[in-house]
Amino acid sequence: MLRNSLLTTLVLAVVFSIANVNRATAQNWPEVTKADWELTDDPANPGASAIILYREVDTDDKNAFTNTFYRIKVLKDEGKKYADVEIPFYKGSSRIQDIRARTLHPNGQTTDFDGTVYEREVVKARGVKYLAKTFTLPDVQTGSIIEYSYTERWDKIEDWVFRSPDAAFIFSQFSPMFAERWMVQDDLFTKRAHFSFKPLPFALGWTWANLQGQGQPASHKGLVEYDATNVPGFKAEDYIPPEESLKGRVEFYYIFKEAPKNAKDTKWYWQDLADKRAKDVEQFIGKDKSFTKAVDFVGEDSDSPEVKLRRIYTRVQQIRNLSYEPEKTEKEEKRQKIAENNSASEVVKHGFGWGNEINEVFVGMARAAGFDAAMVYVAPRNARFFNPSLLDWSQLSAEIVVVHLNGKDRYFDPASKFCPYGLIPWEEDTTTGFRLDKDGAAEVKVPPGASSDTVISRKGTVELNEEGGAKGSFELSFTGQDALERRRANRDRDEAGRRKALEDELKQSSPSGTTVEVGDMTGWDKPDEPLKVRYTVETEGTMQLGVNRLLFPAVPFPGEVKYFFQSASRSLPVYITYPYEELDDLTLALPKSMRVESVPSAKNNQTGFGDYSLSIENHGTSVHILRHFTMQEGLVPAQYYPQLRGFLATVRQADETRLVFRSDSSAHVGGDR
């Protein structure tokens, strides 16, 4: 969470670079060649629906704009979807202007776009959200070529920043001076691409990755250029690491300070900048005594440290968090009397603050109550992975708090809305960070969460009828990351919207023809309590075997099966973002005319990927089912995919193992079989 709009711009600009910033909003469209019209397939991926014939990028940092140009050829009917264009941007950080587009037809005719450009929110994987300008090119058919260009502009940097590297270095800590990022690899095969970058008047460095067979950027007279040809399209797979860390790319950074002569790596940069940031943070937090009165509420001396810290956490979460409010104009801020906070104590006094300010208040209060606490700047892993070779402080775009409690370091993020005590959002753990305190900065590795932190618990009864129909009543409980994810995704919805979102989620994971109805919901706005949902499920029939037998799955109406893989092979790693557990405690009740004939034997499977156990008790006229599934977090290389897939296949197979029921008097009653 960031203190002011400049810092917010910094983080948003980092994520914006996913938008494949390009060039060429020229008055004249580049010429379409005869070879472009004759190209009918993707040479690297035969059968592709479309290819990028040409893509151009031109960024001018001093004049604060990037021009973009795309030329795409539609090869199959499926490729007509590329007529729907999305141009991502971040409101308040940049502006999209001068959109031009047209459709070229094989018969030589051209249809210019003169329709409406819309603005809507786009939600990507792992909670990454952004706005996009959207429009649809006209009359696109197989064989058509579509072209569009646009300009992205942002506020120019003030002249004083250019007076010296020291001034720029200071400014770079609070604003987007990360230079440029070229995402060279697109989802489609790219026949030809040209990139250019006119940087600010400072020394420049760059890194590149996943560009096998391509050249390197060349710098000449203040302009960096790069040409790429025949770049394979990026083939995404289910549950992969952030695409930005996998695609071919070139990333630039400004150099405001030379590396020490004896430096063997880039640790000096991160340490130096973290030490400077630590001074700013400590100055904002202030002395412990400034919070002496503010922590009178923590309790008696006889209360445990855990109890005291939890009270501080609850108090801090009550501060109005400006980071979750719509951006305000200067007049609105004055009307609402939103003053700038110059210290953590002023945050308490005013009753509002930005996310990082709220976390700094937590540090100050914890220290005043006798705890060893500090801020930690971390690199969130939902949009990209930390790259220490890219000297760009904006990678550390999230702030959490570390408190030494009961002999070990614990991590907290009270500024994250709906985040309960003892948990931090999954994207902020298992990553690199820097602890900032009175003694300077120190690199830390934030540990992963435990599977027991995130539990999906389901308890209920399913009643069968003679026709094989079933009706179930359940209570579903979410804790940890699964509760946090749903609360964050639905925070702007009313009760009806939240109910519909849960019903849609449950229907999506239920068998076809199943009716789902959500009833009571509790805990939406209480992060320290489980998010609970009561719901019913009804289906008309199940599989029959013979005249008097019925089959039913061992785990009826299962929830969403995460990380289920159909493909037998894979080229990219599997990314399991956080560990979790599933607990099922179910009773299956039979009609009076039926008895249990057989139930599957108990299952127990323990692997490095996770654990699974299933036990089924036969009570003659009912069945009691206990299921426990644990999935561990981690990055699973592609070579271990068959083992992971095999483990998850055994889980699904066990869940779908059939119970056998009979309706005649000879049914086996009592005892498992």
Q: DSSP string covering 120-163, please?
A: EEEE-GGG-EEEEEEEE-SS--TT-EEEEEEEEE-PPPPGGGGG
Cα 435 off chain centre by: 24
| Mean pLDDT over the full length of the chain | 87
The answer to whether position 261 is within a domain reads no
194 in the same domain as 55 = yes
Q: In this structure, is residue 262 part of a structural domain?
A: no
Quote the longest CA-to-CA distance of the chain.
Answer: 94
Q: List, edge to edge, every strand of the sheet that includes 50-60.
A: 110-112, 95-104, 145-153, 65-74, 50-60, 190-198, 223-231, 218-220
| Overall average pLDDT of the 606-622 stretch | 95
pLDDT at 671 over 70: no
Domain-ending residue, one of 232, 255, 278: 255
**Distance, CA of 23 to CA of 26 (rounded, Å):** 9
Which structure tokens are listed for 287?
Answer: 């002395």
100, pLDDT greater than 80: yes
Give me the pLDDT at residue 617, please. Answer: 95
CA distance 456 to 260: 51
| The total number of residues written for the chain in this structure | 673
Nearest CA-CA partner of 628 in 663, 596, 669, 581: 581
Of all residues in the chain, what percent carry a pLDDT higher than 90? 66
Say whether pLDDT at 5 is over 50. Answer: no
Number of domains in the chain: 3
Q: How far apart are CA 14 and CA 385, in angstroms?
A: 12
DSSP string, 213-248: T----EEETTEEEEEEEEEPPP---SS-S-GGGTS-
Least confident of 201-215, 485-499, 566-580: 201-215
Is the residue at 484 inside a domain?
A: yes
* CATH, residue 658: 2.60.120.1130
Statement to judge: residues 106 and 37 lie in one domain: yes
Indicate whether 669 belongs to any domain: no
Q: Among residues 513, 450, 509, 526, which one has the least CA distance to residue 474?
A: 509
Spatial distance between the Cα atoms of 656 and 114, rounded to a whole number of angstroms? 54
Asked whether residue 364 carries a pLDDT value surpassing 60, the answer given is yes
Query: Does residue 153 sit in the same domain as residue 249?
Result: yes
pLDDT of residue 512: 78
Order of strands across the sheet that contains 129-136: 84-89, 129-136, 118-123
Q: Based on the number of CB atoms within 10 Å of its own CB, is 672 exposed (0-12), middle (13-18) or buried (19 or more)?
A: middle
Amino acid at 266: T
Instruction: Over range 271-291, report the average pLDDT.
Output: 87
Q: Both 414 and 394 in a single domain? A: yes
Angle formed by the axes of helices 355-368 and 267-285, nearest 10°: 70
**What residues have CB less than 8 Å from 553, skipping those under 6 apart?**
655, 656, 657, 658, 659
Instruction: Looking at the structure, tell me whether residues 155 and 194 fall in a common domain.
Output: yes
Radius of gyration of the CA atoms of the chain, in A:
29
pTM of the model: 0.86
Mean pLDDT to the nearest integer, 270-299: 83
**Confidence label for 125 from pLDDT (cuts 50, 70 and 90):** low
Judge if 298 and 427 occupy the same domain.
Answer: yes
pLDDT at 261 over 70: yes
Task: State yes or no: pLDDT of 574 exceeds 70.
Answer: yes
The two tokens of residue 384 are: 């990209």
pLDDT > 70? residue 15: no
pLDDT of 124 higher than 70: no
**Domain end among 447, 462, 491:** 447
Tens digits of residue pLDDT in 407-451: 999 999 999 999 999 999 999 999 999 999 888 899 999 999 999
- Please tell me whether residue 311 adopts helix, strand or coil conformation: helix
In a domain, 344, yes or no: yes
Distance CA 540, CA 645 (A): 32
Residue 630 CA: distances (Å) to CA of 215, 578, 612, 639, 646: 45, 11, 6, 22, 15
Confidence of residue 560 (pLDDT cuts 50, 70, 90): low
Residues 377 and 429 in one domain: yes
For residue 11, the enclosing domain spans: 5-255
Going from the C-alpha of 161 to that of each of 169, 266, 666, the distances in angstroms are 9, 24, 89
Cα-based distances in Å from 366 to 338, 347, 348, 411, 491: 26, 15, 14, 13, 28
**C-beta separation of 471 from 565 below 8 A:** no
Q: Measured between alpha carbons, how far is residue 38 from residues 50, 145, 605 in Å?
A: 14, 12, 56
- At residue 210, the pLDDT reads 93
> Does residue 672 lie within any of the structural domains?
no
Per the listing, tokens 């019903």 go with 503
For residue 274, give the CATH number of its domain. 3.10.620.30
Straight-line distance from the first to the last Cα atom of the chain, in angstroms, rounded to the nearest whole number: 57
Pairing assessment for the beta strands 352-353 and 320-321 based on DSSP bridges: parallel
Q: Give bridge partners of residue 58 from the DSSP assignment.
A: 67, 196
251 in the same domain as 286: no
Could you say which of 398, 422, 447 is where a domain stops?
A: 447
* pLDDT for position 201: 84
Mean pLDDT within 353-374: 95
pLDDT of residue 363: 96
pLDDT confidence of residue 2: 40
Q: Are residues 440 and 490 in the same domain?
A: no
CATH of the domain at 216: 2.60.40.3140
Q: What is the pLDDT of residue 6?
A: 36
pLDDT of residue 404 exceeding 80, the answer is yes
Q: Are residues 434 and 457 in the same domain?
A: no
For residues 416 and 313, what is the distance between their CA atoms, to the nearest angstrom?
Answer: 12
Which pLDDT score is estimated for 670?
Answer: 42
Map residue 670 onto helix, strand or coil.
coil
- Mean pLDDT is lowest, of 184-193, 284-293, 443-452, for 284-293
462 and 413 in a common domain:
no
Q: Which residue has the tokens 């080229």?
A: 571
Q: Is residue 302 part of a domain?
A: yes
Residues 92 and 236 in one domain: yes
Amino acid letter, 627: R
CA distance 518 to 502: 7
651 assigned to some structural domain: yes
